[in-house]
């Protein structure tokens, strides 16, 4: 809806979307619900009744896209599976989002964000090294699936310009969590190394993390490659003596020798305030 689409949300009579009850509530409105549904129109339909299904199918006739995130099998029980819906609108893009996809051994299991993050592995690589699995502070399981769902929907609409036909799009939240962990899976599949939590630092590039300063903290990310910032960084922290140290010659070498390098960087970063480091490192 933010991009101009007319979006009609179907809700249950009397109770509506359960998210309407989520706090905080301001001036009688759930801010949680509004953050996800701003700009959308809304109607209530009882899809357990024949009349509700008929109204729904009339809405489908003029729609470009139908998005549903029921547990697999629910739309079929209501007589609203893709095969029936496309009888009313052969050009419809019928998008199904679920925890584990429309088929497979876990297809009928329900899912929530934290469950998907745990099963997908994101929580195992989040947090401090040696610590317990941590859920990131945002709903990556939901958001990543929503983004992939949007991309797939746009691709299906583009394909329709050629074929003139709609299609079924199947998005699995778990698949999406695996996809966003590109680096972790590539390392495991090629080296056998099981990824684990590393705090704020990067598994391949160093320095690429937060450091404590004299009055707070700061995030530092160094670029390597043709124009290596390492010499400039060493000069900024007053440690030009380690510029040519072969243990720290590039990002991967610095990562491999992190235990030797980290105390040097940590001690240096504590000598100035966060604002002083921001001013100093912006020059690098």
CA distance 1 to 11: 17
| Nearby residues of 132 by Cβ (< 8 Å), 6 or more positions away | none
CA distance 65 to 169: 10
CA distance 204 to 253: 9
202 is an active site residue: yes
For 78, the token pair is 């209501």
Contacts of 85-90 spanning 24+ positions with Cβ under 8 A = 85/57, 85/60, 86/166, 88/57, 88/60, 88/61, 89/60, 89/61, 89/62, 89/63, 89/166, 90/165, 90/166
Q: How many CB atoms lie within 10 A of CB 207?
A: 25
Which of the following is catalytic: 202, 224, 257, 264? 202
Per the omega criterion (within 30 degrees of 0), is the bond before 104 cis?
A: no
Question: Cα angle vertex 177, ends 174, 182, to 5°?
Answer: 135
Q: Could you tell me which residues are beta bridge partners of residue 219?
A: 210
**Contact yes or no for 221/211 (Cβ under 8 A):** no
Question: Cα angle vertex 243, ends 237, 245, to 5°?
Answer: 130
Catalytic residues: 202
């Amino acid at each position: 809806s933010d991009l101009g689409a007319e979006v009609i949300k179907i809700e249950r009579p009397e109770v509506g979307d359960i998210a309407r009850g989520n706090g905080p509530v301001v001036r009688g409105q759930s801010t949680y619900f509004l953050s996800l549904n701003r700009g959308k129109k809304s109607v209530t339909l009882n899809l357990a009744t024949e009349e509700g299904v008929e109204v729904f199918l009339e809405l489908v006739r003029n729609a470009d896209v139908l998005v549903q995130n029921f547990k697999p099998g629910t739309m079929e029980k209501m007589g609203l599976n893709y095969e029936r819906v496309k009888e009313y609108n052969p050009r419809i893009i019928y998008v199904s989002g679920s925890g584990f996809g429309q088929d497979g051994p876990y297809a009928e299991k329900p899912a929530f964000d934290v469950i998907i993050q745990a099963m997908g592995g994101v929580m195992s690589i989040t947090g401090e090294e040696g610590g317990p699995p941590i859920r990131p502070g945002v709903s990556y399981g939901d958001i990543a699936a929503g983004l992939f769902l949007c991309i797939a929907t746009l691709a299906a609409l583009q394909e329709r310009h050629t074929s003139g036909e709609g299609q079924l799009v199947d998005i699995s939240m778990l698949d999406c969590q695996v996809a966003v962990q590109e680096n972790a899976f590539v390392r495991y599949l090629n080296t056998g190394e099981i990824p684990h939590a590393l705090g704020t630092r990067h598994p391949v590039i160093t320095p690429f993390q937060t450091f404590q300063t004299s009055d707070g903290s700061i995030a530092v990310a160094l670029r390597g490659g043709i124009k290596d910032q390492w010499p400039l960084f060493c000069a900024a922290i007053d440690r030009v003596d380690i510029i040519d140290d072969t243990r720290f010659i590039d990002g991967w070498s610095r990562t491999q020798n992190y235990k030797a390098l980290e105390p040097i960087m940590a001690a240096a970063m504590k000598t100035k305030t966060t604002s002083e480091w921001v001013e100093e490192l912006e020059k690098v």
